[in-house]
Chains A and B, each alone.
Chain A
């Protein structure tokens, strides 16, 4: 299986921002991309970690509460 590729932050922004409905001033773009550039490698690092299939996500929903 190929390793995950760190995402292109600019492409991510351009592709997904319209779906959020957030009216972003172009002046904010560089700072938003800078934040995505921090998040991307973190996500890649987590995707490279060999989590067992049996590992469930942490949040628990308790019916009735």
Chain B
């Protein structure tokens, strides 16, 4: 097998190849860098490439192996991070023009440190929608990240470069953030697995915030075992993130492959059965048929929940960006700026009502997940639209595309439940689409087991797109 072809394996597979002596870490790093040089001009997934850093880490791994030292679980697996994660030596641009004038980060984000501690090779920072306020993967300053399965289409956002890098074979694992759907949407459009863990499970230390009440971070990958392996090495308390749990880590290990027997699964109806296109129906039907799901459940008031998340997002993001809005308003992406200015004008009582509603909705969801261990819902109403698309027809009504991409993801992140986005390939369609596998709080294990069952059955898969698609 050529070194380049080796890069199509998942992270655990590449680490195994390195341990078995199929390739050195240095060779893997060079192949990964060469692939970025070849493909990134088309995919526009990377905004910064940390080639020297990857080479240095690879040399250290090769030296450790030569000395017979034990090797960490993700040794020599190439990974990358959305450019809102601090990478020492680079300004944390968070998709913006304004932030590139910041001094370079003096330390890495906590999760970058933990992934490197597990042996993974950091290749660089990834394109994203400005300040994460985006569902498309388009960026007014860096250009759009492009979908590897059809480069005329959106990656989804805001972790657009993360979806593009993983589906395009430029990284095995990419870290993203998800406030209202920004891991799950690119997973759906690019056909990758994605894990949005329970709110507070993984540290946001050293990442540039969007809406702290709703911000989550997690991995996108091409296999469930890579989600599980990276999730395990990234868990743990962190004083840098006041929202990070102090619960002891609960590693998944190989438990993700223990089947779905005994897990009570239902598909979500109501809000989650409205406003979607046929391809989204087809993906959901595929997943439910494979899992033999016959029950339907309803999460009450999901539409209001989506609205409440929308208001909290507007207001919190506007407050956070207030100083920049007052000093550099013309330097924002106009679409982001206009939403932020509107957010700065929302009466405080609206936001407080939304936060109280959040409590009510979380309680309603807890009652539901007491009856069903796992809920299945679509991730997006449609597969990847063409870049530049402004509107979409849903249930016969023409609606603005951007806010409607996240209609199914927003109510779930609003209450912090863990979700695995699982990519499916409905028959007769060339583009993927994901379903959300939703579990009770702190039960990522259940969502990963269901995702793995779909992967093992061959229903779900996340292949590297042929380059030039």
Chain B interface size range: 35 or more
Q: Is B429 an interface residue (CB 8 A)?
A: no
Collect the chain B residues with CB atoms within 8 Å of residue A59's CB.
Answer: 213, 355
Interface string of A43-63 (1 = CB under 8 A from B): 101110101100111110000
Interface string of B326-358 (1 = CB under 8 A from A): 100110001101110111111100101111111
Given A46-B354, A49-B357, A57-B359, also A65-B311 (CB < 8 A): no
Q: Return the contact of A31 from the options B334, B343, B359 (Cβ within 8 A).
A: B334
Collect the chain A residues with CB atoms within 8 Å of residue B308's CB.
Answer: 42, 46
Q: Return the contact of A43 from the options B346, B356, B360 (Cβ within 8 A).
A: B346
Q: Is B388 an interface residue (CB 8 A)?
A: no
Q: Is A16 an interface residue (CB 8 A)?
A: yes
Q: Is B304 an interface residue (CB 8 A)?
A: yes
- The winner among B308, B329, B334, B356 for most chain A CB atoms within 10 A is B356
Instruction: Tell me the bound Cα distance from A23 to B314 in angstroms.
Output: 18
Q: Which of A11-65 contact B (CB under 8 A)?
A: 12-13, 16-17, 20-25, 28, 31-36, 38-39, 42-43, 45-47, 49, 51-52, 55-59, 65
Collect the chain B residues with CB atoms within 8 Å of residue A33's CB.
Answer: 342
B interface with A by C-beta (< 8 Å): 213, 242, 301, 304, 307-308, 310-311, 314, 322, 325-326, 329-330, 334-335, 337-339, 341-347, 350, 352-360, 362, 403
Quick check: A31 and B338 within 8 Å, CB to CB? Answer: yes
Quick check: A36 and B345 within 8 Å, CB to CB? Answer: yes
Collect the chain A residues with CB atoms within 8 Å of residue B326's CB.
Answer: 20-23
Quick check: B345 and A13 within 8 Å, CB to CB? Answer: yes
Collect the chain B residues with CB atoms within 8 Å of residue A46's CB.
Answer: 304, 307-308, 311, 350, 353-354, 357
Collect the chain A residues with CB atoms within 8 Å of residue B362's CB.
Answer: 58
Collect the chain A residues with CB atoms within 8 Å of residue B352's CB.
Answer: 57
Quick check: A39 and B311 within 8 Å, CB to CB? Answer: yes
A interface with B by C-beta (< 8 Å): 12-13, 16-17, 20-25, 28, 31-36, 38-39, 42-43, 45-47, 49, 51-52, 55-59, 65
Collect the chain B residues with CB atoms within 8 Å of residue A45's CB.
Answer: 304, 307
- The winner among B341, B343, B347 for most chain A CB atoms within 10 A is B341
Quick check: B341 and A65 within 8 Å, CB to CB? Answer: no
Collect the chain A residues with CB atoms within 8 Å of residue B358's CB.
Answer: 57-58
Quick check: B342 and A56 within 8 Å, CB to CB? Answer: no
Collect the chain B residues with CB atoms within 8 Å of residue A36's CB.
Answer: 342, 345
Quick check: B304 and A20 within 8 Å, CB to CB? Answer: no
Instruction: Tell me the bound Cα distance from A59 to B353 in angstroms.
Output: 12
CB distance from B160 to the nearest CB of A (A): 22
Quick check: A17 and B345 within 8 Å, CB to CB? Answer: yes
**CB pairs A–B below 8 angstroms (24 shown):** A13-B345, A17-B345, A20-B322, A20-B345, A22-B329, A28-B338, A31-B335, A33-B342, A38-B310, A39-B311, A43-B311, A43-B346, A43-B354, A45-B304, A46-B311, A46-B350, A46-B353, A46-B354, A49-B304, A49-B360, A52-B360, A55-B357, A58-B358, A58-B359
CB distance from A37 to the nearest CB of B (A): 9
Nearest 5 pairs of A and B residues by beta carbon: A35-B342, A42-B307, A57-B355, A31-B338, A58-B358
Quick check: A55 and B360 within 8 Å, CB to CB? Answer: yes
Q: Which residue of chain A lies nearest to B359 when distances are taken between CB atoms in the complex?
A: A58
Given A42-B310, A46-B354, A58-B362, also A22-B341 (CB < 8 A): yes
Q: Which residue of chain A lies nearest to B244 when distances are taken between CB atoms in the complex?
A: A65
Quick check: A23 and B307 within 8 Å, CB to CB? Answer: no
CB distance from A52 to the nearest CB of B (A): 8
Q: Which residue of chain A lies nearest to B326 when distances are taken between CB atoms in the complex?
A: A21
Instruction: Tell me the bound Cα distance from A35 to B400 in angstroms.
Output: 12
